[in-house]
Amino acid sequence: MDWFAGLNVLSLESRRNEEMQTLIRKYGGTPQVAPSMREMKLDLSGPLAQFERDLEAGDVHALACLTGVGTRMFLKELAARDPRALDALQHLPLIARGTKPAQALKTFGLQGVSVPKPCTWHEVTDHLLATLTRGQHAVILEYGEAVPTAMRRDLAYAGIRVTSIPVYRCAFPQDAAPLARAVRDVVLGGPDILLLSSGTQILHFLKYAEKLGLLEEARAGLNRLVVVSIGPACSEAAADLGLRIDLEANPHKMGILVRLAAEHGPALIARRLQRAG
């Protein structure tokens, strides 16, 4: 099998960009990896102090952990302030949105309940609605972007109080030149396939396109690409931004993402060209 057969494959991966380049080359693609974001840790002193007060008063009834990175950051700082707080969490319902936050909890000796697949905010919301009662209080650890408005609304309708703690925010990378180049290349028709491993990646791509005054042109260019998502949460975020997803990896892992794109992407491109011709 020729796999990518030399096609230009764009990825917006930041944290694991070198691994992504290696995988694309392994499957015969020409990689263009443009880091789209960096994680900015926020000052947690105020939210942690309030969380400790609520926890001590018995006024926290569930803690929802949405990402591994955010969960690890939160627990590390909580333990540094008062190791006894981790003991208190042993008796608190902990909800993990997938394997990474579940693993982060285990690192600190905690056991969480993983929501069912596809592990989006919808499943977290459903779990909270099924296990909490009116007047109870859920704390949600945010991840990069704010808790979805619809999630807050659904919980509020059920009378569940929500406190969100923003552990970190995603910003543009310090060196944004590769991202700017990727925007311009998409506008000019360079890449053939786009790999997405998080919804924030495409959000930042579009925000940077807007910053360059190329938002509409970039959207038009994205519609030409074969777009491959790492999983349902990523696909949902991309769809909310108006992007069509052609393929979705399952299991939701980077290696599977690249292999899926290499296996089916070229045929999708060929069919589109045939229809256009």
In this predicted structure, what is the pLDDT of residue 277?
64
* pLDDT at residue number 192: 97
To the nearest 10°, report the CA torsion of 189, 194, 198, 201: -20
Decide if domain 8-37+175-276 falls under CATH 3.40.50.1820. Answer: no
Q: What is the CATH number of domain 40-171?
A: 3.40.50.10090
What's residue 67's pLDDT? 86
The answer to whether 8-37+175-276 and 40-171 have equal CATH topology is yes
Token representation of residue 145: 């972007």
Domain residue spans in the chain? 8-37+175-276, 40-171
Sign of CA dihedral 101, 102, 104, 105: positive
Angle at alpha carbon of residue 8, lines to 257 and 212, rounded to 5° = 100
pLDDT under 70: residue ranges of the chain: 277
Q: What is the pLDDT of residue 274?
A: 81
Report the 10 Å Cβ neighbour count for 59: 13
Q: What's residue 11's pLDDT? A: 98
- Supply the pLDDT for residue 2: 85
The phi and psi torsions of 225 (rounded to 5 degrees) equal: -80, 155
